[in-house]
Amino acid sequence: MSAEIARRDFLKAAAAGAAGIAAASVFGGASAFAEDQVKAFEGKKKFAGIGSIREVTDDILYVGASDRRIQLFENVYPIPRGVAYNSYVLLDEKTVLFDTVDRSVTGQFFENLTAVLDGRELDYLVVDHMEPDHSSAISEVLVRWPNATVVCTKAAALILNQFFACDISDRSILVDEGDTLNVGRHTLTFVMAPMVHWPEVMMTYDDVSGALFCADAFGSFGALNGNLFADEVDFEKDWLPDARRYYCNIVGKYGPQVQDVLLKAASVDIKILCPTHGPVWRKNLGWILEKYSLWSSYTPEEKAVMVVYGSVYGGTESAANALAAQISQKGIADVAVYDVSKTHVSELIAEAFRCSHIVLASITYNMGVFTPMKNLLLDLEAHNLQNRSFSLLENGSWSPAAGKQMQSILDRLSGTSYTGRIVTILSSPSSEDYKALATMAEAIVASIQAGPINAPEKAETEVKRWVCKLCGYVYEGDEVPAEYKCPICGAGPDKFELE
């Protein structure tokens, strides 16, 4: 139903020559391409060296920019390495801009874009994602290039108007799954990716280059330092921690939706991944796809142990250190200890996605779990972490209670298992406590050495997904409640169908 609506809009827009574009050129019309290609290639030489422009291919150019001044991404996540807001231009018979940038870097972005277009009209602005770090410059683009037509999902058009009072109804083409747009030599195919990690998200595939403009997927924190491609940097050493932290914290909750997109991607010949943050992938795509497969299925990346403690006067910290030393002594080198009060929770979320085994050690505070530890636990739940082995330590000088309360939250995570019994410490670890910790270390090491990394338990993670036929929003649950209204388009339950 929604595909029919979108395709009808698509045809209507084309027939009407939306924003002055001839319908014949929109839908696969033959073009004098060779001449335009030559023009595009010559144009490229003119803007080489301007701003942060980089060539992705002969006719696809990077026009994004990096922000190194920002302290907190989304006002939540520390990003000491800054962040890049990626945007791309395709120069064909028609010109196409893929997404814009955050308002903080619009100066560089417009310098890049103007240079790349080199006096040509901008014909299309493809909006793959409407979050303002990519959409803040849309209004200005539409003012600067008044003949540009926006290509986006229906949900994106609604959200664009919500954020920026930008009504594009008379200059847009609304697309749905599998719709295509021919711009000369290239044909673009639109792939819906709802809730990766917003409802309006889509990806755009270019048939000539094999580039997938993939919105936030495969993105990373970190400013680009001249290098654009993942193969131009030591990605595993210098970028993977930020790529993992980006994925787990921004997209991690939406593993099933990412799995859906990976399934679609498997049937397409993707040669380049063009995300909206971080390096572009043109080599070794299987490596990053494998990471996404692990992260989105909540499969631990490594057989490793993270020990997180919340300590006030040092007793719990001593216990955590002793446990980590015992684990290492017994042969597991990949063990890391974190102070929950000193480590940003986004780092801990990323480590939790990486490690197979997690030890949580908390003092008892106000008869409950230490506040920063409780925050971590709730954040793990919010990010849908699954299939992990937990071991628990509690401390209390008169009435230890943190252990069971931590367990009650962890029990809500799918696929949780426990290694060892809760170790209880009274103020400072005694010799008996150290023995109990040694026993816990043995159990953790045995668990790691026993078998494969936890596999996702499909039966427990499968959730019914109801798709709004009007805007593509996905509701997860056994059934859509009678009084439910789609948060994007306001549709009632009768407009949702089981995926």
| Residues of this chain that bind ligand FEO (CB under 6 A) | 129, 131, 133-134, 197-198, 216, 276-277
**What's the min distance (Å) between Cβ of 73 and ligand FEO?**
8
**What's the min distance (Å) between Cβ of 314 and ligand FEO?**
40
Spell out the residues 6+ positions from residue 205 whose beta carbon is closer than 8 angstroms to its own.
Answer: 188, 189, 190, 191, 211, 212, 213, 268, 270
Q: Which is nearer to ligand FEO, 197 or 374 (CB)?
A: 197
Spell out the residues 6+ positions from residue 6 whose beta carbon is closer than 8 angstroms to its own.
Answer: 153, 154, 174, 175, 176, 179
Q: Which is nearer to ligand FEO, 195 or 359 (CB)?
A: 195
**What's the min distance (Å) between Cβ of 331 and ligand FEO?**
41
Q: Round to whole Å and give the CA distance between 103 and 110.
A: 11
**What's the min distance (Å) between Cβ of 59 and ligand FEO?**
25
**What's the min distance (Å) between Cβ of 9 and ligand FEO?**
25
**What's the min distance (Å) between Cβ of 99 and ligand FEO?**
9
Q: Which residue is nearest to ligand FEO (CB)?
A: 131
Q: Which is nearer to ligand FEO, 197 or 354 (CB)?
A: 197
**Backbone φ, ψ for residue 302 (5° rounding):** -135, 155
**What's the min distance (Å) between Cβ of 230 and ligand FEO?**
18
**What's the min distance (Å) between Cβ of 190 and ligand FEO?**
18
Q: Which is nearer to ligand FEO, 198 or 254 (CB)?
A: 198
Q: Which is nearer to ligand FEO, 56 or 214 (CB)?
A: 214
Q: Which is nearer to ligand FEO, 130 or 448 (CB)?
A: 130
Q: Which is nearer to ligand FEO, 277 or 469 (CB)?
A: 277
**What's the min distance (Å) between Cβ of 198 and ligand FEO?**
6
Q: Which is nearer to ligand FEO, 129 or 244 (CB)?
A: 129
Q: Which is nearer to ligand FEO, 135 or 326 (CB)?
A: 135
